[in-house]
């Protein structure tokens, strides 16, 4: 049974605060083990990758080779159904089209003093994409991570994916090819992160690593951060559905379960101003659960972390939704746009009852890598900017320098930095050295 919280209950504030504070995932303390793996890869390179893959993935990379061959890529594609490949192609095209709109503009202007200012965006020179093996090996995630990097103009996009018992998901390899990623290594875990960060004989290091992974991968990304860039560390996923009574409870129930089936640590929350509707959704969840192949996972997520929040009025929704800061927010009310406009914290908003979140997961074109676990308070979903960086540009001539130097020199002196002061003063006092 999910929690049922009612804003008019006297204990609501405390119960809601406790609900927000719940930990949904206890990350195993794997720091020491991961540090040892990283050291091993730095010291022994490919040899360490081969030994660790034998140990953790039960696969002999000395025989198979670290890199997935063109022949294997071709075979993987042939192993996929046409229907799925076509769907992946539609998704890839839509993702590319949407993300192209995120390409930022360079800026350059001259102000009234004659100072030229601006900035220039450039792509990160190389990116490594981590893809989990086994059950969580999702082709859709390959597209969502690789295509924004390609749109950004990253010259080298590399993928790593473990092959437990030698197996690779053909759909993952097909998605990589659709996204234009052809440099793929069959390695995973902390050793793959170390190889991407520091390089080995076979694998040149990258400048940034993105993509989800287990506790070992997350710990390794934290440890190599600084040497390379990383994306955010993904936590368990969640959906908040704000729905009034003018909805089919079965639709809303299916949306809550689509979230819950990901993972027992996933969270599905319904917020409604109608208790009877809430009960109808709860009953529909119970019915649908029995029909789902992943019903055990979804059922555990729903009963342990699920919640129904009963509002006195939909007017209470924005403030509470901002505190939840959901990764996914569906709004199925009479005027969903008005409610959406009042919300600050959400990874993505799905507006109106005909916009189930799964459309965003797969095909809409927007990114499904979104801030989880309340981090939408301060971070954004994955996008093109995550694969670019901005270089600030500044250009003065002698006249502009003469205008700006005095206050800059005053501040340098106030901060006790006389060499800073000198580097302006010396230009005002002595010739450039450049033949005029």
**What residues between 225 and 284 interact with its own copies by CB under 8 A?**
226, 228-229, 233, 235, 246-251, 254-255, 257-258, 260-262
Report the residue number, 41 or 349, with the smaller CB distance to its own copies.
349
Cβ atoms of residues 57 and 133 within 8 Å? yes
Cβ atoms of residues 188 and 169 within 8 Å? no
| Torsion angles phi and psi, residue 393, rounded to 5 | -125, 135
From 155, 144, 270, select the one nearest 211 (Cα to Cα): 144
Report the residue number, 189 or 229, with the smaller CB distance to its own copies.
229
Partnered with residue 127 across adjacent β-strands are 157, 208
Using rule CB under 8 A, residue 24 touches its own copies: no
Query: Does the annotation place 177 within a ligand binding site?
Result: no
Query: Does the annotation place 106 within a ligand binding site?
Result: no
Smallest distance from the beta carbon of 86 to its own copies, in angstroms? 7
Q: Which of 238, 282, 327, 357 is catalytic?
A: 327
Report the residue number, 48 or 91, with the smaller CB distance to its own copies.
91
Q: Where are the alpha helices (DSSP H) in 108-169?
A: 139-152
Using rule CB under 8 A, residue 422 touches its own copies: yes
Which tokens belong to 144? 């969502």
Query: Does the annotation place 259 within a ligand binding site?
Result: yes
From 326, 310, 320, 316, select the one nearest 271 (Cα to Cα): 310
Cβ atoms of residues 333 and 244 within 8 Å? yes
Query: Does the annotation place 99 within a ligand binding site?
Result: no
Query: Does the annotation place 130 within a ligand binding site?
Result: yes
Query: Does the annotation place 361 within a ligand binding site?
Result: yes
Whole-Å CA distances, 271 to 19, 130, 161, 337: 14, 35, 38, 16
From 2, 1, 6, 3, select the one nearest 272 (Cα to Cα): 6
Report the residue number, 177 or 345, with the smaller CB distance to its own copies.
345
CA atoms of 352 and 204, how far apart (whole Å): 46
Q: Which of 282, 328, 357, 368 is catalytic?
A: 328
Range 357-376, binding its own copies (CB under 8 A)? 357-367, 370-371, 373, 375-376
Smallest distance from the beta carbon of 63 to its own copies, in angstroms? 30
- Is 327 a catalytic site residue? yes
Query: Does the annotation place 145 within a ligand binding site?
Result: no
Secondary structure of residue 333 in the 3-state scheme? coil
Range 330-359, binding its own copies (CB under 8 A)? 336, 340, 343-359
Stretch that binds its own copies, among 1-9, 36-44, 144-152, 423-431 (CB under 8 A): 423-431
- The strand order across the sheet containing 183-185 reads 183-185, 156-160, 126-130, 208-210, 229-230
Report the residue number, 53 or 141, with the smaller CB distance to its own copies.
141
Smallest distance from the beta carbon of 435 to its own copies, in angstroms? 6
Stretch that binds its own copies, among 9-17, 160-168, 179-187, 408-416 (CB under 8 A): 408-416
Whole-Å CA distances, 350 to 174, 359, 382: 29, 9, 17
Which of 132, 133, 212, 381 binds its own copies (CB under 8 A)? It is 381
Query: Does the annotation place 74 within a ligand binding site?
Result: no
Report residue 386 CA to chain centroid gap.
Answer: 9
Which of 157, 171, 195, 270 binds its own copies (CB under 8 A)? It is 171
- Is 107 a catalytic site residue? no
Using rule CB under 8 A, residue 393 touches its own copies: yes
Report the residue number, 61 or 328, with the smaller CB distance to its own copies.
328
CA atoms of 6 and 273, how far apart (whole Å): 10
From 315, 319, 316, 343, select the one nearest 330 (Cα to Cα): 343
Range 99-158, binding its own copies (CB under 8 A)? 101, 107, 109, 111, 115-117, 119, 122-125, 135, 138-140
Whole-Å CA distances, 63 to 53, 66, 430: 12, 9, 68
Report the residue number, 57 or 361, with the smaller CB distance to its own copies.
361
Stretch that binds its own copies, among 35-43, 78-86, 157-165, 189-197 (CB under 8 A): 78-86
From 370, 367, 332, select the one nearest 352 (Cα to Cα): 332
Cβ atoms of residues 265 and 25 within 8 Å? yes
Smallest distance from the beta carbon of 24 to its own copies, in angstroms? 13
**Residues flagged as binding site:** 130, 191, 214, 237, 259, 262, 328, 361, 415, 420
- The set of catalytic residues is 327-328
């Amino acid at each position: 049974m999910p929690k049922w919280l009612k804003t008019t209950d006297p204990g609501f504030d405390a119960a809601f605060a406790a609900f927000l504070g719940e930990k949904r995932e206890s990350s195993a303390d794997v720091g020491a083990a991961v540090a040892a793996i990283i050291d091993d890869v730095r010291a022994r390179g490919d040899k360490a990758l081969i030994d660790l893959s034998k140990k953790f993935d039960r696969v002999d990379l000395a025989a198979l080779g670290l890199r997935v061959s063109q022949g294997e890529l071709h075979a993987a594609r042939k192993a996929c159904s046409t229907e799925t490949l076509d769907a992946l192609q539609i998704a890839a095209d839509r993702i590319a089209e949407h993300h192209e709109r995120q390409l930022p503009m360079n800026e350059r202007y001259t102000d009234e003093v004659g100072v030229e200012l601006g900035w220039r965006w450039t792509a990160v020179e190389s990116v490594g994409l981590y893809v989990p093996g086994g059950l969580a090996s999702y082709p859709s995630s390959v597209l969502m991570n690789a295509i924004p990097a390609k749109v950004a103009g990253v010259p080298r996009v590399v993928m790593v994916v473990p092959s437990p018992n030698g197996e690779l998901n053909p759909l993952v390899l097909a998605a990589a090819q659709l996204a234009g990623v052809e440099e793929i290594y069959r390695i995973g875990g902390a050793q793959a992160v170390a190889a991407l960060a520091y390089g080995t004989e076979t694998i040149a290091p990258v400048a940034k690593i993105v993509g989800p992974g287990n506790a070992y991968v997350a710990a390794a990304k934290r440890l190599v951060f600084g040497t390379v860039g990383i994306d955010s560390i993904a936590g368990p996923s969640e959906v908040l559905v704000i729905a009034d009574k003018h909805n089919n409870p079965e639709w809303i129930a299916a949306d809550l379960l689509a979230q819950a089936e990901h993972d027992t640590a996933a969270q599905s929350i319904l917020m409604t101003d109608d208790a009877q509707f809430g009960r109808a959704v709860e009953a529909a969840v119970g019915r649908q659960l029995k029909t789902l192949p992943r019903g055990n996972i979804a059922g555990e997520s729903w009963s342990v972390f699920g919640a129904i929040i009963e509002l006195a009025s939909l007017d209470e929704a924005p403030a509470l939704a901002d505190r939840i800061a959901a990764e996914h927010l569906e709004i199925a009310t009479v005027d969903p746009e008005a409610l959406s406009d009042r919300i600050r914290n959400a990874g993505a908003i799905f507006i109106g009852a005909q916009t189930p979140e799964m459309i965003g997961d797969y095909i809409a074109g927007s990114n499904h890598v979104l801030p989880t676990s309340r981090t939408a308070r301060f971070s954004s979903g994955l996008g093109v900017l995550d694969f670019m960086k901005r270089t600030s540009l500044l250009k003065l001539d002698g006249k502009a320098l003469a205008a700006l130097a005095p206050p800059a020199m005053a501040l340098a002196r106030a901060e006790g930095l006389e060499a800073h002061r000198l580097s302006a003063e010396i230009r005002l006092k002595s010739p450039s050295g450049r033949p005029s």
